[in-house]
Structure 1
């Protein structure tokens, strides 16, 4: 059982705070134990993962009972929720019951009158089933064992100098790796306090009085938009950004207002966190650092049919593969997907494109399926071009793609949603902006201004629809 600190003799008052609700460590163990007593079988247990103490209790209780837990987004629609419940084989539902026959068929889970003691659990057994966003079809269930979760968290304890004396604060969803496993389970395993602000608002972050803050770029953008709140975070020792690329200008704004550069890191649902800048090491805008303890990476040529590895020159783009004890055990009942994502000898194909410098620092430059552009003999990741364009004050949103070109093979085209100021002019200013920040061959050859970017129901840009 990877939440070993929960059974420690010393208690911590207000160990878990979610909004206005708080539990000591002893109270959490008691409530989670009573919840576990009401689980009818070996699960899995689906949890309506709202930002609440009840969610923390239910997930902790299932873990203590050795029953796999399936966090379900509270805003999931009937089709998505029904798929997750059917695919996971969940036998019980915890939390508010949404309308729908697929939910009504599940037995209720109610706390027992007497708490049960934590069970001896096979560390290789699936502890958590997290569903991917489903950008290439229906969401897939990634199976994370207790051993994998423990390995991933222990690596972060080391690289972030995370101690039981820390207080972690964030307002991220409790159905993803970032908010749930890192923010809550990481704190419980390490023995530190966690404060969930319910909503990731700057004022709530500032009032948390934490030593470590977790956020995504959208959150950090809101924080720097309220300078007083941002300066209040300067008392913390670590500001962590992940889940999406952090624009360089935002990196500099955070550093300027708080007095410290943020730590950027990289991971996936399937891999936990495999790359991160160190708390006591270099923090470089746009770079996600070095492998965490136990993790390995390799970059393979992005071209079809090519073999070997790419040079560590900080420029050559390669397909990122990772391996280590924190990786998941495969997708539930998806043999074809598993065969496709595993490269053999423990290597997992992330689907991401990256570059690595001579010191081992990594920079993510896009997704292989949509973001690799082959132009003039160069392999270019559109993500790094998008990051530079987003640093321009007149750009609100952007998507960069490759379009067929008789001379270059593909020409780089940027689809831009402006901020309404009209400052970008004809687009030449944006082309020059990229050329001044990146290699000349990475500049867009064309800028197309659009009112909006096409997105799927999950909010992700559908690049294949651009220009159609």
Structure 2
């Protein structure tokens, strides 16, 4: 096959693989044991879109299945913003997202709260596919709740196209590639890059279901996406790591890749991984190029259409085609997120060398924890802990962890209560991956004169 690349920032066709631009194959899109061709996926999604036409917003229970991909595409086809919800979200987290987004349809579900229509999976009808309008809001993704409840981030098709075209240029990503990953389908990494990226570039997609090193190796991809936790496990499985030596590019993202894992993957597979950087609000803005220098801790240079700078305190700011316009229904938060001249404040501390190579060296606050590839907000977990009747005070921090990158540690002032009770309380209220891995009971939390908790003293 001759490699084909989608034209840069093609506003006419957001997902050209669904219109036959790149040809087709019976297993063009595979998730676990289930596969379909591009044409079948497009026609099934178009049929499902008839069920949700006229809806304000369509939420999707984002399991790692073909049904989720179909549901997301149905929303895009119907010009209805799609809100992915983690399948393990607790009732509080799910209900907040449904209310805040104004969702009136919940796809991939058999039950839903009052006022929301549940549409179960299992769509089998077919209908003609037409491309969505890229200027519209395509997705509403939710932040990690760093300082309270998660905020909605509307993302347009134009921003998605800009991000994916920038990465296709940086990574020489084409229709000749076979993309393999096992990422969750409710955030930028797994959904935008890992699904819509394949449908924009025409690369074949194989989602292995579970992030098992053996399954990833057996998929025989040319392009791999994974989070540092998965790369750590691949490095600990030498046979699987060596099998990835036939791949063209190994990409790590969602958190910093430890230098030891970088070195181990390079030694076993014969090639160094590349890293990239982004946020929900900006999509991916910085990436190590396939033909660039690969260094541990370096996340690369800005993709096409993106500019970066650091302020006087070393905090990274970005602007460009991938950056969102503002939080859903949160004008105050939006105003605080941008500088007076229109740059988005990432909150991350970065360095930029003379060649433009970026390194993310820290967080402007201690309230964002990167664990197992997830960005988890300390504030959301603290709110969940405080909802337990035995807990009086709570502070959550991230601590270094060889496997997870950071593990979630909760310091609590509480009446007599078992550690496991609090862990399960959080896992039930929120998503399971947001539960504390350690609970430390203290008599009081350290505070300054203004009453603010001093987390650096914990």
Q: Is the 8 A contact 2:15 2:131 kept in 1?
A: no
The answer to whether residue 322 in structure 2 is matched with residue 366 in structure 1 is no
What is the root-mean-square deviation in Å for CA atoms of aligned residues?
Answer: 2.6
The answer to whether residue 104 in structure 2 is matched with residue 108 in structure 1 is no
Q: CA deviation at 1:112?
A: 8.3
Q: Which residue of 2 aligns with 1:5?
A: 17
Q: Is the 8 A contact 1:161 1:279 kept in 2?
A: yes
Question: For residues 157 and 193 of structure 2, what CA distance do their matches in structure 1 show?
Answer: 14
The answer to whether residue 289 in structure 2 is matched with residue 278 in structure 1 is yes
Deviates more, 1:80-89 or 1:7-16: 7-16
Matching residue within 335, 341, 364 for 2:337: 341
Q: In the superposition, relative to structure 1, how do residues 120 and 232 fare at CA in structure 2: closer, same or farther (>3 Å)?
A: closer
The answer to whether residue 82 in structure 2 is matched with residue 69 in structure 1 is yes
The answer to whether residue 44 in structure 2 is matched with residue 27 in structure 1 is no
Matching residue within 196, 212, 220 for 1:201: 212
Helix, strand or coil at the partner of 2:250 = strand
Question: For residues 333 and 401 of structure 2, what CA distance do their matches in structure 1 show?
Answer: 38
Q: Which residue of 1 aligns with 2:321?
A: 325
The answer to whether residue 409 in structure 2 is matched with residue 453 in structure 1 is yes
Deviates more, 1:356-365 or 1:1-10: 1-10
CA deviation map 1:362-406 (0-9, x unaligned): 11011112399xxxxxxxxx99xxxxxxxxxxxxxxxxxxxxxxx
Q: CA deviation at 1:3?
A: 1.2
Question: For residues 198 and 112 of structure 1, what CA distance do their matches in structure 2 show?
Answer: 22
Question: For residues 177 and 360 of structure 2, what CA distance do their matches in structure 1 show?
Answer: 29
Q: Is the 8 A contact 1:37 1:112 kept in 2?
A: no
Which ranges of structure 1 fall in alignment gaps of 5 or more residues?
A: 303-317, 373-381, 384-413, 420-450
Q: CA deviation at 1:459?
A: 5.2
Q: CA deviation at 1:51?
A: 0.5
Q: CA deviation at 1:8?
A: 2.0
Matching residue within 250, 268, 290 for 2:301: 290
Q: Is the 8 A contact 2:177 2:221 kept in 1?
A: yes
Q: CA deviation at 1:67?
A: 1.3
Helix, strand or coil at the partner of 1:130 = strand
Q: Which residue of 1 aligns with 2:144?
A: 133
Helix, strand or coil at the partner of 1:90 = coil
Matching residue within 260, 283, 291 for 1:249: 260
Q: CA deviation at 1:96?
A: 2.6
Describe how 1:140-179 pairs up with structure 2 within 5 A.
140-179=151-190
Q: CA deviation at 1:358?
A: 1.1
Q: CA deviation at 1:263?
A: 0.3
Q: CA deviation at 1:13?
A: 2.4
Describe how 1:254-269 pairs up with structure 2 within 5 A.
254-269=265-280
Q: In the superposition, relative to structure 1, how do residues 196 and 267 fare at CA in structure 2: closer, same or farther (>3 Å)?
A: same
CA deviation map 1:115-165 (0-9, x unaligned): 2542652x2221000001101111000010000000000000000000101
Q: In the superposition, relative to structure 1, how do residues 120 and 72 fare at CA in structure 2: closer, same or farther (>3 Å)?
A: closer
Q: In the superposition, relative to structure 1, how do residues 242 and 103 fare at CA in structure 2: closer, same or farther (>3 Å)?
A: same
Question: For residues 198 and 220 of structure 1, what CA distance do their matches in structure 2 show?
Answer: 16
Q: CA deviation at 1:103?
A: 2.5
Q: In the superposition, relative to structure 1, how do residues 236 and 42 fare at CA in structure 2: closer, same or farther (>3 Å)?
A: same
The answer to whether residue 254 in structure 2 is matched with residue 240 in structure 1 is no
Give aligned pairs, total.
379
Higher relative contact order (CA 8 A, sep 6+): 2
Q: Which residue of 2 aligns with 1:83?
A: 96
Q: In the superposition, relative to structure 1, how do residues 112 and 167 fare at CA in structure 2: closer, same or farther (>3 Å)?
A: closer
Helix, strand or coil at the partner of 1:320 = strand
Q: In the superposition, relative to structure 1, how do residues 127 and 371 fare at CA in structure 2: closer, same or farther (>3 Å)?
A: closer
Question: For residues 252 and 356 of structure 1, what CA distance do their matches in structure 2 show?
Answer: 22
Q: TM-score, normalised by structure 1?
A: 0.76
Q: In the superposition, relative to structure 1, how do residues 466 and 299 fare at CA in structure 2: closer, same or farther (>3 Å)?
A: closer
Q: Is the 8 A contact 1:38 1:112 kept in 2?
A: no
Q: CA deviation at 1:342?
A: 1.0
Q: Which residue of 2 aligns with 1:47?
A: 60
Q: CA deviation at 1:29?
A: 1.0
Q: CA deviation at 1:97?
A: 3.5
